[in-house]
Amino acid sequence: MFKMIQYIKGYVKIRLESSMPERFLGLCVHDQITVWNLENKEVYYEMEICAKDYFKLKPFCKKTQSKIIIIEKHGMPFFFHKNKKRKAFFLGIFLFAASIYLCSLFIWDIRIDGNHFNSDEVILDMLKQIQINDGIMKKNIDCQNVSARMREAFPNVIWVSARIEGTCLMIDIKENEDSYQEEDEVGEDLDAWSLAAPKDGRIISIITRSGMPMMHEGEVCKKGDILVSGRVEILNNESEIIRYEQVRADADIRIKTEYAYYDEFSLHYTKKEYIGEKKEYPVIGLFGKEYFYCPKKSLPAEVYKSVKPVYLTSSFCIPLSFGRISWIPYKVNNCVYNENEAKQRADEKLQQFLVTLVGQDILVCEKKINLKITSQKCIAKGVVTVIEEAKKKVPIEDPNEKLIEE
């Protein structure tokens, strides 16, 4: 930091030739003149001193019969004096500083974090509908309004934070991971509820923590049947019901149920055959527009683009980007699955379905799938038997029933 300050102010390296160097340095200390990098060269001394303090040394030289010679000059004042005739150079510095200032007034990058179900492209398209995109002035952005509009557009988003850092609009999102599951018929704000079966099945296990179990292990349940009631009977010493208490039913319930499976695909398909070599071309982005050279080709091709913006700091993005476009030519072949290939394809799609179930903490017990192959398509249908946790909150069966006395 000291070196930086001295560079801004300007400093010189001098040689001191004196018969009384101690007195000379003592006078510098007395007048609070700072010197540094002092070196004894036997017959003279070398040191560095601030440029403005150099002009205070003339009286000291007369008193100590000393001679001072400037060896080197450093710092911004000397740099500007040396290049004072280079007007274009200083004009370039001024224009660069002005362009950086102008760029700082706009948003050049939008960062989205925390989204899992809603892709970046979907969110950016929604922001464009409310005129929020790259190149918008920061003063025209109302972060609270952006957060409110995003919550309206995406019902599964439960929390949004929008803020501006540098030239970036930071959007942090928290999504409701259970929003795609079957919703309960009651909310968490109610004082009591029961648990019902969300689908048909056979109860494998039921462990009740709160409430009264209405069905037991091994029994068959239908969709909507009450498994654990939130209305609990209160008995007297003679085992007679004296009243009912309403509670929030809670239990671990696992049932064996079946999922219907159906999949159909055509035996005719197209397959890409890549030919030739992959070629890459440079891309330059400036103020939201991209410039690149890509010659016209007679064959169709897959085009991949990778562009990265330029950052001066971690949150200061400028409207300049660099990247490459990859061009991969191919031709399309019309193909037909044979019987073995059709079976393999059907099995792959079935495995994808089973993996999805396992990812939802569902245990697959058995699968009965029939495969039918015609001249045009392949059809796979059947049932998959699983064991899963099943409980759905529903209102109390008779919430108005209260005290029963004899």
> Across residues 53-73, what is the average pLDDT?
87
Any idea which residue has 């193909």 for tokens? 335
Examine the pLDDT at 301 and tell me if it is beyond 90: no
Phi/psi for 358 (5° steps) reads -60, -35
List the beta bridge partners of residue 273. Answer: 331
* pLDDT at residue 20, rounded to an integer: 84
* pLDDT at residue 385, rounded to an integer: 94
Examine the pLDDT at 403 and tell me if it is beyond 70: no
Report the chain's mean pLDDT, rounded to a whole number.
Answer: 85
Q: Tell me if residue 84 falls in helix, strand or coil.
A: coil
Alpha carbons within 13 angstroms on the beta-carbon side of residue 268 total 3
Distance, in Å, from the CA atom of 58 to the CA atom of 48, rounded to the nearest integer, reads 16
Query: E strands within 34-185?
Result: 35-40, 45-50, 66-74, 109-113, 157-165, 168-175
Q: pLDDT band at residue 364, thresholds of 50, 70 and 90?
A: very high
Q: Label residue 391 exposed, middle or buried (CB < 10 Å: 0-12, 13-18, 19+).
A: buried
Where do you find CATH 3.10.20.310 in the chain?
109-175
Q: How many of the other CB atoms lie within 10 Å of CB of 295?
A: 7
Examine the pLDDT at 368 and tell me if it is beyond 70: yes
Examine the pLDDT at 181 and tell me if it is beyond 70: no
Tokens (6 digits) for 242? 């004296």
Tokens (6 digits) for 327? 């061009």
* pLDDT at residue 180, rounded to an integer: 44
Higher-confidence position of 48 and 293: 48
* Lowest mean pLDDT, pick from 20-29, 133-142, 183-192, 297-306: 183-192
Q: Give how far Cα 300 sits from Cα of 87, 273, 275, 279, 291, Å.
A: 53, 11, 10, 14, 21
> Across residues 301-330, what is the average pLDDT?
88
Model-level pTM? 0.54
For residue range 347-356, what is the model confidence (pLDDT) as tens digits? 999 999 999 9
Any idea which residue has 């019969």 for tokens? 65
* pLDDT at residue 187, rounded to an integer: 54
* pLDDT at residue 155, rounded to an integer: 85
For residue range 183-232, what is the model confidence (pLDDT) as tens digits? 455 555 567 888 999 989 999 999 999 888 999 999 999 998 999 988 88
- β-strands 201-210, 220-221 pairing: antiparallel
Distance, in Å, from the CA atom of 97 to the CA atom of 196, rounded to the nearest integer, reads 68
Q: pLDDT band at residue 179, thresholds of 50, 70 and 90?
A: very low
Where do you find CATH 3.30.70.2280 in the chain?
2-81
> Across residues 13-26, what is the average pLDDT?
87
* pLDDT at residue 235, rounded to an integer: 78
* pLDDT at residue 264, rounded to an integer: 93
Q: Please tell me the CATH code under which domain 2-81 is placed.
A: 3.30.70.2280
Radius of gyration of the chain from Cα atoms? 40
Examine the pLDDT at 94 and tell me if it is beyond 90: no
* pLDDT at residue 293, rounded to an integer: 78
Contact at 8 Å (CB) between 103 and 318?
yes
Distance, in Å, from the CA atom of 56 to the CA atom of 30, rounded to the nearest integer, reads 12
Of 254, 208, 200, the C-alpha closest to 229 is: 208
Class of domain 109-175: alpha beta
Residue 193 carries which DSSP code? B
Q: Tell me if residue 356 falls in helix, strand or coil.
A: helix
Distance, in Å, from the CA atom of 182 to the CA atom of 318, rounded to the nearest integer, reads 45
* pLDDT at residue 402, rounded to an integer: 46
Distance, in Å, from the CA atom of 399 to the CA atom of 244, rounded to the nearest integer, reads 10
Q: pLDDT band at residue 258, thresholds of 50, 70 and 90?
A: very high
Q: Give how far Cα 22 sits from Cα of 27, 30, 44, 197, Å.
A: 9, 12, 12, 98
Q: pLDDT band at residue 257, thresholds of 50, 70 and 90?
A: very high
Residues ≥6 apart with Cβ < 8 Å to 306: 323, 324, 326
